Amino acid sequence: MSALTTAAPGVPVVELDLAELRRDPYPAYAELRRTAPLAWVPSIGRHLLTRYEDIVRAEKLPEVFSSREQGSLLLRTVGPNMLREDDPDHRRLRAAAEPPTRPRQVRDLWAAAFERTAHELLDRIEGRGEAALIADFAEPLAAANLALVLGLHNASADDIADWSRAMMAGNGNYADDPDVWLRAEQATRAIEEAVAGRAEAVRREPDGSVISSMVHAADPVEVAEIQNNIKFIIGGGVNEPRDVFGVGAWTLLQRPEALERVLKDPASWKRAFEETARWISPIGMYPRQLTQDHEIAGVTLPAGSRVALVIASGNRDESVFERADEFDLDRPHRPHLAFGGGPHFCMGAWVARHEVSTIAWPLVFSRLKGLRLVEGAADRLDGWVFRGLTSLHVTWQTH
Ligand code: HEM
């Protein structure tokens, strides 16, 4: 079924300014939820689905809302991968890759090394009294942790961070910039080489990593499939933990009462993680394509329709989250959508939760005494497909 690149009949057409959406997408999403919960947005070339309940319904019907979107930039950047596959192929790849990312494995195999790396990065900056926490801490930490979990011992944290940026730029290259494609291709080749080397090594000597798990999967996986999946995981596996770390730290530094709460009661770091991911979701939306005609949000969409599940909007839906625009550590528990839902629910959720809420935030706030934001720094939120801080300038006492 080929992708339909126009509005389905009877669907409201809403023009959205992409620059404004990058700056702050939430007012536009609130308006869409209220007036056009399914809307065709020409500048995005997709139907946007913005209410919580509709997104959850779509995620429960993966055979209708297929992940095999045609013309996807992710496919062009990394090739076929589990995120853009449906079952049974998706299930085969996911089952092969997933074991090292389960909660017990995170605790037993990776947690101690995550903590060591966080300490090492803090050792480098602690005496300085000021830092750009995204560049100096969150990104290298996420990259080093990801290298470990994936089993890319032949790549440095800097390599992983560079490759991640190149993959993310390719995935978002709606402007078709040739330089972006060139950098993505160079990164692609470097990742393929690194994965091939490690696949060969773990065939003889398994090491508990994702590559090792895929090489030894009961249901066989080709090396090319491992390479493509590692490429897209490198994209998101650095970006999203880095962003949730940055947004959460920035938010707490502006809310002394909430910060005091988590400092007094370390168990609430976990709540801070979930609330940060709900409030400013690192991934704002992802695509699906209809395999058959289907009615949703009061409209029948024809087979081939392209739909964006706008989870950042679902996470601000007032019918589910009271005072949804506020960051509130005490809000009653309702599952948020930041990790997606259905069969593609984020495979790295436990890795991200652990590295940010159990290790990174508690260590940063305990080791950097009197941590505060640098006044007048140009740190700001940016993005709607992916959203995070552009930078995070902080200062602290050194004596
Ligand atoms: C706060 C951090 C993170 C957030 C918010 C996040 C969010 C998401 C979302 C929304 C999806 C579903 C996308 C879709 O259905 O199209 C997803 C899938 C995925 N994520 Fe994450 N992610 C995070 C961290 C990570 C990390 C650290 C890793 C790797 C260790 C990872 C690996 C994956 C994989 C492999 C999938 C595809 C799962 C599948 O197709 O079955 N993620 N993530």
Select from 346, 353, 361, 385 the residue to mutate for testing ligand 1; criterion: most ligand atoms less than 8 Å from CB: 346
How does pLDDT run across 42-61, given as a tens digit for each residue? Answer: 989 999 999 999 999 999 99
Euclidean distance between CA atoms 289 and 47, whole angstroms: 10
Q: Could you name the CATH architecture of 85-276+338-399?
A: Orthogonal Bundle (1.10)
Euclidean distance between CA atoms 271 and 283, whole angstroms: 19
Query: Which residue has a Cα nearest atom 20 of ligand 1?
Result: 346
Half-sphere exposure in the Cβ direction for 250 (13 Å, CA): 26
Report whether 137 contacts 114 (CB < 8 A). no
**Confidence band (pLDDT; 50, 70, 90) for 71?**
confident
Instruction: Measure the CA angle with vertex 173, ends 168 and 176; round to 5°.
Output: 150
pLDDT at 383: 94
Whole-number Å distance, alpha carbon 348 to ligand 1 midpoint, is 6
Whole-number Å distance, alpha carbon 247 to ligand 1 midpoint, is 18
Tell me the three-class secondary structure of the chain, residue by residue.
Answer: CCCECCCCCCCCECCCCHHHHHHCCHHHHHHHHHHCCEEEECCCCEEEECCHHHHHHHHCCCCCEECCCCCCHHHHHHCCCHHHCCCCHHHHHHHHHCHHHCHHHHHHHHHHHHHHHHHHHHHHHHCCCEEEHHHHHHHHHHHHHHHHHHCCCCCCHHHHHHHHHHHHHHHCCCCCCHHHHHHHHHHHHHHHHHHHHHHHHHHHCCCCCHHHHHHCCCCCCCHHHHHHHHHHHHHHHHHHHHHHHHHHHHHHHCCHHHHHHHHHCCCHHHHHHHHHHHHCCCECCEEEEECCCEEECCEEECCCEEEEECHHHHCCCCCCCCCCCCCCCCCCCCCCCCCCCHHHCCCCHHHHHHHHHHHHHHHHHHHCCCCEECCCCCCCEECCCECEECCCEEECCCC
**Percent of the chain scored above 90 by pLDDT?**
93
Whole-number Å distance, alpha carbon 134 to ligand 1 midpoint, is 20
Whole-number Å distance, alpha carbon 274 to ligand 1 midpoint, is 15
Euclidean distance between CA atoms 276 and 189, whole angstroms: 35
- Supply the pTM of this predicted model: 0.96
Euclidean distance between CA atoms 392 and 102, whole angstroms: 30
Average confidence score pLDDT of the chain: 96
pLDDT at 335: 97
pLDDT at 393: 98
Tokens 């689905």 locate to: 49
Query: Which residue has a Cα nearest atom 38 of ligand 1?
Result: 344
CB atoms within 10 A of CB 84: 23
**Confidence band (pLDDT; 50, 70, 90) for 331?**
very high
Whole-number Å distance, alpha carbon 374 to ligand 1 midpoint, is 32
Please give the CATH number for the structural domain made up of 1-80+284-336. Answer: 3.30.43.20
Which segment of 42-46, 151-155, 208-212, 269-273 scores lowest on mean pLDDT? 42-46
How does pLDDT run across 73-109, given as a tens digit for each residue? Answer: 899 999 999 999 999 999 999 999 999 999 999 999 9
Which segment of 6-10, 243-247, 365-369 scores lowest on mean pLDDT? 6-10
**Percent of the chain scored above 70 by pLDDT?**
100
pLDDT at 10: 87
Whole-number Å distance, alpha carbon 370 to ligand 1 midpoint, is 33
Report whether 315 contacts 278 (CB < 8 A). yes
Which atom in ligand 1 lies closest to the alpha carbon of residue 281?
A: 5
How does pLDDT run across 268-283, given as a tens digit for each residue? Answer: 999 999 999 999 999 9
Which atom in ligand 1 lies closest to the alpha carbon of residue 97?
A: 35
pLDDT at 1: 62
**Confidence band (pLDDT; 50, 70, 90) for 2?**
confident
How does pLDDT run across 277-310, given as a tens digit for each residue? Answer: 999 999 999 999 999 999 999 999 999 999 999 9
The Cα-based distances of 71 to 60, 84, 125, 208 in angstroms read 24, 11, 44, 35
Report whether 49 contacts 58 (CB < 8 A). yes
pLDDT at 399 over 80: no
Q: List ligand 1's pocket residues with C-beta within 6 A.
A: 82-83, 94, 101, 146, 149, 233, 236-237, 240-241, 244, 277, 282-283, 286, 338-340, 344, 346-348, 351-352
Give the residues across from 314 on adjacent strands: none
Whole-number Å distance, alpha carbon 231 to ligand 1 midpoint, is 13
Query: Which residue has a Cα nearest atom 7 of ligand 1?
Result: 339
Domain range list for the chain: 1-80+284-336, 85-276+338-399
Whole-number Å distance, alpha carbon 278 to ligand 1 midpoint, is 15
pLDDT at 254 over 80: yes
